Copies of this chain bind each other. A is one copy, B any other.
């Protein structure tokens, strides 16, 4: 009797962990670090800054996530955001384009870049990893050509532009954009047939085809979405940095992938998903900030980053396996 009760609660626990593992980790991180650094860790300044800078990572993670629902890698997102932010500043500073027009141009460029990526993958049938890697190199070339490898300082950007990433009633506006984008993506992926189509392609492209889903069009759409998200992230990054450096961007690639893949272990374990991605980005950012505030040696953060990735994923893989085992056992 007691045995089955503990058995049942253990089951419930593993089920809960496998779905909400990241949320638990997030809560732990918040509790531990705000106990250790009560005055600074949860200060509005720190939260505001973290949310603002992590918004970029979150948007890029979404950009990675979209094609990844269909099982395609987009390795160009890092260089793409770099080009977008260079263009955004460059058009304003060098060509005196008003910022809303510059933003439109950057978004249009993002759409075209996504389209090319998609066409390379669907029409030319190039492996997505390599096509987008090549594309990334081309984009990096364009950034460097446009700037001649030099920084474009944006000393006289209009307040309306720099204010894009400011605060309203103490709330970082950038985080609101991410929330809106997240909700839209969530609705598309979880509540619309087109989103289900993307997931179906990701798990079995052949079955998708036989079910009448036009695989090329869906994949193309995913890459275009990814391009637009990169452009949006680039616009916001330009507003945050207020200066354009062509080398910016590549450093986002791995964190974006880390966010998506770590996120795929929670909420909808085993599949990349919007909420998991957001949670993962937050967990990585807040834990990292906490470690920095503790004044640990600089290399500790690398250990921490690697460690949290591995531990969080093992935990949720373990929980998901247990859960699946129980499901199978129960059904046989």
Contact = CB atoms under 8 A, between A and B. Distances in A.
A184 interface: no
B313 A141 contact: no
B140 A302 contact: yes
B317 A126 contact: yes
Interface string A129-144: 1110111111111101
A149 interface: yes
Nearest to A300: B141
Contacts of A261: 127, 129-130, 133
A193 B130 CA distance: 29
A257 interface: yes
A155 interface: no
Interface in A110-168: 120, 124-127, 129-131, 133-142, 144-145, 148-149
Interface in A42-95: 75
A76 to B, nearest CB: 9
A258 B75 CA distance: 12
A144 B299 CA distance: 6
Q: Determine chain A's interface SS by DSSP, over half rule.
A: helix
B131 A310 contact: yes
A262 B140 CA distance: 19
A297 interface: yes
Interface in A258-301: 258, 261-262, 264, 297-301
Contact of A138 (B127, B142, B262, B303): B303
A314 interface: yes
A293 to B, nearest CB: 18
Contacts of A257: 129-130, 133
A217 to B, nearest CB: 20
B144 A306 contact: no
A306 B125 contact: no
Nearest to A145: B299
A142 to B, nearest CB: 8
A306 B258 contact: no
Contacts of A29: none
A254 interface: yes
Nearest to A250: B254
A135 B309 CA distance: 9
Nearest to A76: B306
A138 B313 contact: no
Which of A127, A258, A302, A314 has the most CB atoms of chain B within a 10 A radius of its CB?
A302
Contacts of A314: 120, 124, 126
A307 interface: yes
B149 A299 contact: yes
A321 interface: yes
A181 B172 CA distance: 54
A34 interface: no
Which of A148, A149, A307, A313 has the most CB atoms of chain B within a 10 A radius of its CB?
A313
10 contacts: A125-B317, A126-B314, A130-B313, A133-B306, A137-B302, A137-B305, A138-B306, A141-B300, A141-B301, A142-B299
